[in-house]
Every structure is written in C-alpha cells, then in structure tokens.
Structure 1
Amino acid sequence: MAGSPRLSLPVVSAFSATAAPIAAIALVMGVYLPRFFTSHIGLTLGAVGAAFGIVRLIDMAVDPLLGLAMDRTKIGFGRYRPWLVLGAPIVMAATYMLFLASPGISLGYLITWLLILYVGVSILTLAQAAWGASIATGYHDRSRVYGVIQAVGVLGSVMILLLPLLLAGKPAGAHGGVGAMGWFLIITTPLTVLLCVLVTPERIAPPSDSEERVRLADYWALITRPEMLRLVFADFVIALGPGTTAALYLFFFHDARHYTGPQTSILLLFYIAAGLVGSMFWGWLAQKTGKHRALMVSAVAYAVAQSMLMIIPPATMSLAIPGMFGVGFVASGFVPIVRAMVADVADEVRLETGKERAGLLYALVTTTQKIGAAITVTVSYTVLQLVGYNPKEGAVNTPDAIHGLELCYVFAPILLVFLGGAAFIGWKLDANRHGEVRRQLDIRDALAAEAAQLTTASGISLGGEPPAANQR
C-alpha cells in the first residue's frame, strides 16, 4: 500500500529497544519481587498480596489519564517521544528503592514505591505501544513490528534471568540476585530510551476539524465498541493466565516439583527464551492467517502445553526443559498480537471520528492487564494462605497445601486463556477490512497535508512562519 511503507529492520530494532527493560521489570516484579519481600524482607504473604493489589487498583485509573494526555500532546519534540523520556527517570528511582530495599521496611514504603514504579512502567509501555501504531500503519507490518518488540523484550528478560545464575554462590547473588537485577534495570533503561528517541521518526497524523477535547461520552464510546469489548475481555483473561503462573512460579517448581533454586532459574530461562522464537512464529502466522486466528490457535496450544507440566515427573530437568520451552513458545503470541489488533482498531476509530485515540485505546488494554495482575497476586496468595501453604524457606508443607498450589498454577490459567481465545470467534476487522480503512485514511491524510502546505505557502507569502513538520 502506497501510504503504508514497510519500516526498515534497523529502525524497528532501535524502536523496540525500550522493550528490553520493560519486559525485564515485568518479569522480576511478577516472579522475584513478591518472594523477595516475603522471604528476605520479612513481610507476610497477606501483606505482600495486599500491597500489589492496592497498588494495581490505584494504578489502573492512571493509564486512561496517561493515554488521554499522550494523545493530546503536540509539541516540537513529538507526541509520544517526550513521554518515553519522562518515564525513564521515574522507573530508575523506583527500581533503586525497591530492588535494593533492606529488611524492616514498612508496608506503606512498599505500596508507595510500587505505585511509583508502576506509573513509570505505564508511561514507557503506553508511549511505545501508541508510538508503534503511528509508525507501523500496515496490517501485516504491525504483526512484524510488535513481534520484534516482543522478541527484544525476551532478550531483556533472558539477560536479567542470567544474573541469578551467574551470581550463584556469590554475595551479590543472595536473595535471587534481586539487587543486581535492580542495577541492570537502572543502567539499561536510559540507554534503550535514548537509542529509541534518537533513531525512530514520529509521524503525527494531520489534525481534523473534529479534533477536540475528549468527553466522557467519547471515552464510553471507545470502551463499548464491539471490537474493544472483545479485546479488553480477551486481554483481561489472558493476562490472568500467565500472570497466575508468574506469581506462583518459584513456589510451584521448588516446593511442588522439587527443583533447586538454580534449576528453577534455568527452567524460567528456557520459558522466556522460547519467546524469542515464538514471537517471530506468531507474527508470521498472524500475517498468513490473520491476527485473530493466530491468537485463537495460540490459546488452544497454551492449554495443551500447560497441561503437560503435570505429566512430567518431579525433579526431571530433561523433560521439564522442553516442557517449559513449549509453554513459553505458545504464550509469547498473546501480547504482540493483541497490541497489533488495538492499533487496527485505533485506525478505524480515527477514520470514523477524526480523533487520534491510540494512547487511550492502549490504556484500556493495559488497565485490564493491571487488574489481572492485581487479581492474580492477591487472590492466589490468599488462596495459598487459606490452604495452609507456608512460603518461608525451609518450611515443610502438607500434601493439601501442595495440591492447592498445583491447582492454582496449572489448571486455572488453562481455562482463562482458552476463554480469551474464544472471544475472537467471528472477528470482523481482518486484513481486508483494515486495508480499506487505511486506504481511506491515507487519502484523507494526503488531502489534509496538501491543505496544510497551501496554508503554509500562504503564510510565507504574507511573511508568516511555517508550522513544524509532521514527521520528526
């Protein structure tokens, strides 16, 4: 399509760089930090679960406000670029305060800095996602770009997972190497943001006559769009699935399946590394079959792969490694496909309303992810506490407590992800429909750009100053 040029791989790679620390933070917060605050800092399961739940409930109201602010940002530096720069120091400060915390901190301390970290991560995540929708406009190119973002995120996760293995037995490796992980994030976050903002262009769609301040009715109209209702529901239940496994991962493999600490890190490394191959595969499949069909296939495959974990005998690395690789492979398709589909909906919204709402639309799905994450930590930790599970190092748990842990880890995610895939049965916004949307948008944008050039020429002839270019 003439109006949808394919982005070069160097530009896509530079743009995706920020995904490395974002994904690494999400991994550590979901897997290592909850255990770090219970086993090392000394807070109870209930307190840590409550802290994550409270922060998520507060933070979920932040994303829509951030999305609106981003969509309405129009400065010389760009629309989404300045927000990416803003998010970096916030993430760095909160990372230092949490990852290098000492025993004796209060629950209020944990809640405060968790909230600051979540806000910083939200800024980075929303800015990158919405920016990606504006630079990758083709239906299939979006599958490719968000697939690369996912792959770069996998690389960041793999690098941070290697730290506990490299530091095993060393002072810096105490408590799972959480402190070393913190320094890794503090260093990589500003470097990747700098690479992204210096290399990636930012295209801002020409303003339309209908561009105005968002009203509550506009917000409600976005939420209740049939496509967004499906995406929000699917993203919510899919986030609940892997989110539950992340919160319980170390408990499950150490106490229920009898793997050592280093072995659990190795298994998690294979799970994450599988996403490097899987994200490319699901991006390819989405281009061949359509995004919604690829997502349904990945949901069914996840149910099969997750079920296999209970068949593998305990403490059997030779079988657990391919098992975890398989689960990671199929799970890697969820996030990039959903984000690419949101970008398609954003195009349809802009065609119908003339308003840029990519930031707000992405805020809707990231909010559901946060709600899901809050529910997984809070509910799963509460259930474990009810069945008598003891998370302390060296504790001996009853068979009933271990059985409850296994049910939470293996079977609950299967049902949730399967429901997410089923939500896309009968999806209408496919490649053909989106191609027509983009054709009409390109025509309208070209006419708007031509009108702007005529206005500029008239202003220059009268001695005025030309406006800033739309691409920076």
Structure 2
Amino acid sequence: MSQGRPQERPLSSGMVLSFSSLALPLGALAVAVAVYIPPFFASHLGVNLAAIGAAFAIVRMLDIGVDPILGLVMDRTRTRLGRYRVWVLAGGPILMAAVYAMFEAPHGVGTVYLIFWLLVFYLGNSILGLGHSAWAATLATEYHQRSRVFGVLAAAGVIGAVIVLIIPIVAAHLGLSEAEGVKSMGWFILILVPIVVALTCLRTPEHIMKTAPEKFALKDYLSLITKPDLLRLFLAQMALTLGPGWMSALYLFFFKDSRGFSAEQASLLLLVYVIAGIVGAPLTARLAMRFSKHRTLMVTTTAYSLGLCMVIVLPKANVPLAVPVMFWCGFMAAGFDLMIRAMLADVADEVRLEQGQERLSLIYALNALANKIASAFAIGLTFPLLARIGYDATAGAGNTPQAIFGLEMAYIVGPIIFVMLGGACVLGWRLDADKHADIRRQLDERDAVYAEAPIIESVGAEPAIAVLSDKGG
C-alpha cells in the first residue's frame, strides 16, 4: 500500500445529502427560536419584553464557555465509533428535551424557566452544530470540494427553515391560532431530529486515526485566539450573526406594525426570504469556486445591505412588491455562514501544518462562540430597546407614531451596519485556492514522512479514503 496520501475522490451525492440532512432541524430551529419563540413568550405566555431580552442575554453569557470546552474534548475524542459520531448521537436527545419544553411551555412561566431551557437548548444545539461542522470539514479536504459540501449543508438548513415557516401559514388556513402554529413547529422538529441523526450516523463514513496521545499545550490554544486570520473570521462571524439576528428579532413586529402586513403575510414574506437561500447557497458556493470565498462574501454583504434599504421605501401591505426584495435579501444572506465555515476549514489546515495537531473542533468552537455572543446581543439589545422607545408588543396593543418610527430605525440601521462590517473583515484575505493547495501538499508530504504504517479504519456505509496518522492529529 502506498505510504502517501491518496488523491481525494469526489464525495458521492447520496452520501453528502444524507450527511447534510442533520442541517434540516438545525436550520428550522435557527428561524423558530430567533423569530417565533421571543414573540411567542411575549404575546401568548405573558413574559415581558425586558425579561425575554435579559433571559437570552444571560443564557448566551453563561453559554460562552461551553463551545471551547466542547471543541477541546472533541479534538481529543477517540472511539471505535469515530470522533464526531458519538457527539451527534449524544446531542440529539438533549436538543429534543429542550424543544419540547420551549414550544410546549405553559402560560405563566417565568424568566427562570426560559433561562434553564434555553441553556439546555443551546447545549444540544452546540453539540450537534459543532460536531456536524467539524465532521463536514474532514469529509472534504480540498478547497473547492469544501465549498460544495458546505453549500449543500447551507441549502439543507434553508430547506429546514422553509418547512418550519410553512407551518404557521398552513396552521392559519386550518383555523389554528398563532400560538398553535408555533407549537406545531416544535412537534415537527421533535419528529425530525431522531430521523436525521440516525441517517447521518449510519450513512456517513468517518475516518478514525490512531495517533499518539495529544499533549495539551496552552500556548497552542492561545495562539488560535490571536492568529490574525481566525480573529478576522471571529469578528466577521459576530457581525454577520448580529446583523440578520437583529433583523430577525424585530421582524414580526416591524412587518405587522410598521409595514401593515398581517401575521400570515409576514410569514409568507419570511418564507420567500428563506426559500431564496435554497437557490442562493449553491450558487454562492459556485461563485466562490470561481472568484474565491472572501470576494464572494464581500459581494453578498454589500448586495444584502442594498436590498435591506429597499424594504423601508416599499408601499405598505404590498405583497407583490415586497416579494422580490425579500428574495434578494435572502439570496445574499445564504452565503454568509457558508463562506465563513468553509474559510475556517482552510485556516484549520494551516493551523495543523503549523502546530502538528488537529484543532478543527476547537476552531469551530471559537466560531460558535462568536455566534453566541452576537446572538445574545441580537435579542438582548433589541427587545430592551423596544421597551425603552415605548413599543408595546402585547397582541392587539396600539403604538404611538414615535414608537413605530423607533421600531423602523432599529430594524434597518442596525443590520446594515453590522453586515457591512462583516464583509469588511475579510478585505485583503490571502488564503486563496493556490495557497491552500500548497498547504495541503505540505500536509500530505508530512503525513507520508511521519506515518510508520497506514492505519485504515472506517465507520459508515461507504468505504473510507485511506488515512495515514500524522504526528498528532
């Protein structure tokens, strides 16, 4: 058997689709928790706006240390089932328990209830999301293959979001209330999670490398925090989470009370926004394969901001004119997370070349940390802001023109500032396809030198590509 690393063959479409199915409930939950759960607790369960904002902010702050710890443990996990498979299997039940508790919460629950179950929710979501992203980066190691895999993952997440957005529209036609529509989302996700966890774990191969015990070197981990490329992506992730997250937190209030749309029409327009991502994610990935990832990210952030400016000038309650604008914004937003995750995988290869150890899970954990901090600010700032300007979120409440104007300014200005800042973070990015190819060549050469004998193990339905143990990961 050859001592060099074999040429990576293209991953089969069936396997990529099976693996990507886990993104369906994660994408559905991203929309449901950001857009529907806060108004659900405020309008139907009697929790005041300031308390909801405080609960989300407190949870995100408490949750900050979880992802780095998970990343450290995942990178050091060695089992016969694989490194990431065991974590995906563990995360499913945790997430299901939290989903049931939040979507079936009884009337009159308080802040403590919301904080506790949000903590459980974000723990399960972190385990699944972090394990899935790191596993994806090990499936495809070539620059353009990564764009393809992460493009399919992004599209699957969008499909999950689309399905969950259709539910309140169908519920309204069936005569169900808004609250019953939100609860139906929860049951859809509860049923979906065990199915996709099983499909992902049974159908996806994972390459298990037998390596020497990894030594913990604090300086290596500290170097990740200060590595310029990772710091830039950390800031970009924060900005590109905060911008759309800020918009999502205010979405229903803005479209109903400022733009004059009904709850059903607002859900329909949000559905258009999300559906656009099904087209936008793969096309953005193809653009990145041609023009590079960082340039594609800068183009999409600029185009998104221009589209958002159009929302405020549209005639009120005009669905036909709002549809193309929402499609444009959703198309552009689909590339944000996709590009950052694919770029992180490239940087992780550079880190492994420099340190001789696998830091993939930790790198994604740091990125998830940025996501969590930004998400905390998205709701932790916007809801108290609404309360301060005098906006009343209670169902059927009347609001003054000054309160509506404050809502409009908050909805438009915040997202544009942060999204443009996110695109600016990758100006002058140097880790392009050529540089990454050189990094992979050096990694392959080092793997061939340090490997005493090839160790090939695989768990999954398809044969694994041969993997040679390197000196640390």
Fold match by TM threshold 0.5: yes
Per the shorter chain, which TM-score range? over 0.9
* CA distance in 2 between partners of 1:129 and 1:91 (Å): 17
The one of 157, 162, 185 aligned to 1:158: 162
1:121 aligns with 2:125: yes
2:59 maps to what in 1? 55
Unpaired runs of 5+ in structure 1?
457-468
SS at match of 1:168: helix
The one of 162, 178, 182 aligned to 2:182: 178
1:140-289 aligned within 5 A: 140-168=144-172, 170=174, 172-175=176-179, 177-204=181-208, 207=211, 212-289=214-291
The one of 289, 292, 299 aligned to 2:294: 292
2:390 maps to what in 1? 388
1:362-373 aligned within 5 A: 362-373=364-375
| Alignment coverage as a number of residue pairs | 456
* CA distance in 1 between partners of 2:176 and 2:116 (Å): 26
C-alpha deviations, 1:403-435, integer Å up to 9, x for none?
111111112111111111111111111101100
Deviation at 1:175, TM superposition (A): 1.4
Deviation at 1:236, TM superposition (A): 0.6
Deviation at 1:218, TM superposition (A): 2.0
2:335 maps to what in 1? 333
* CA distance in 1 between partners of 2:264 and 2:331 (Å): 22
1:134 and 1:204 in contact (8 A); partners too:
no
C-alpha deviations, 1:133-186, integer Å up to 9, x for none?
111101001011001000011111111111111111546544161111111111
The one of 398, 418, 422 aligned to 1:416: 418
2:76 and 2:214 in contact (8 A); partners too:
no
What letter is aligned with 1:185? I
* Distance change >3 Å, CA 356–CA 172, structure 1 → 2: farther
Deviation at 1:241, TM superposition (A): 0.4
1:432 maps to what in 2? 434
What letter is aligned with 2:252? L
1:143 and 1:283 in contact (8 A); partners too:
yes
* CA distance in 1 between partners of 2:177 and 2:433 (Å): 49
* Distance change >3 Å, CA 202–CA 104, structure 1 → 2: same
* CA distance in 2 between partners of 1:171 and 1:66 (Å): 44
Unpaired runs of 5+ in structure 2?
458-465, 469-473
TM-score (norm 2): 0.93
* CA distance in 2 between partners of 1:3 and 1:450 (Å): 19
What letter is aligned with 1:44? N
* CA distance in 1 between partners of 2:9 and 2:379 (Å): 42
1:315 maps to what in 2? 317
1:5 and 1:138 in contact (8 A); partners too:
no
1:110 maps to what in 2? 114
The one of 376, 379, 382 aligned to 2:381: 379
What letter is aligned with 2:211? P
* CA distance in 1 between partners of 2:253 and 2:84 (Å): 39
* CA distance in 1 between partners of 2:98 and 2:455 (Å): 45
1:16 aligns with 2:20: yes
Of 142-151 and 437-446, more deviation after overlay is shown by: 437-446
* CA distance in 2 between partners of 1:409 and 1:176 (Å): 27
* CA distance in 2 between partners of 1:169 and 1:260 (Å): 13
* CA distance in 2 between partners of 1:453 and 1:226 (Å): 35
What letter is aligned with 1:65? I
* CA distance in 1 between partners of 2:96 and 2:104 (Å): 12
Q: Percent identity?
A: 48
Report the aligned-residue RMSD: 1.8
The one of 10, 22, 27 aligned to 1:6: 10
2:455 and 2:467 in contact (8 A); partners too:
no
C-alpha deviations, 1:320-365, integer Å up to 9, x for none?
1111111100000000110000000111111111111110000111
Deviation at 1:310, TM superposition (A): 1.2
* CA distance in 2 between partners of 1:453 and 1:99 (Å): 46
1:70 maps to what in 2? 74
1:30-45 aligned within 5 A: 30-45=34-49
1:240 and 1:376 in contact (8 A); partners too:
yes
1:172 and 1:180 in contact (8 A); partners too:
no
What letter is aligned with 2:322? A
* CA distance in 2 between partners of 1:290 and 1:205 (Å): 31
2:98 maps to what in 1? 94
2:209 and 2:455 in contact (8 A); partners too:
no
1:6 and 1:138 in contact (8 A); partners too:
no
1:32 and 1:176 in contact (8 A); partners too:
no
TM-score (norm 1): 0.94
C-alpha deviations, 1:83-137, integer Å up to 9, x for none?
0110000010111111011101121111101100010000000000000111110
* CA distance in 2 between partners of 1:105 and 1:171 (Å): 26
* CA distance in 2 between partners of 1:41 and 1:169 (Å): 23
* Distance change >3 Å, CA 253–CA 166, structure 1 → 2: same
SS at match of 2:453: helix
Deviation at 1:213, TM superposition (A): 3.5
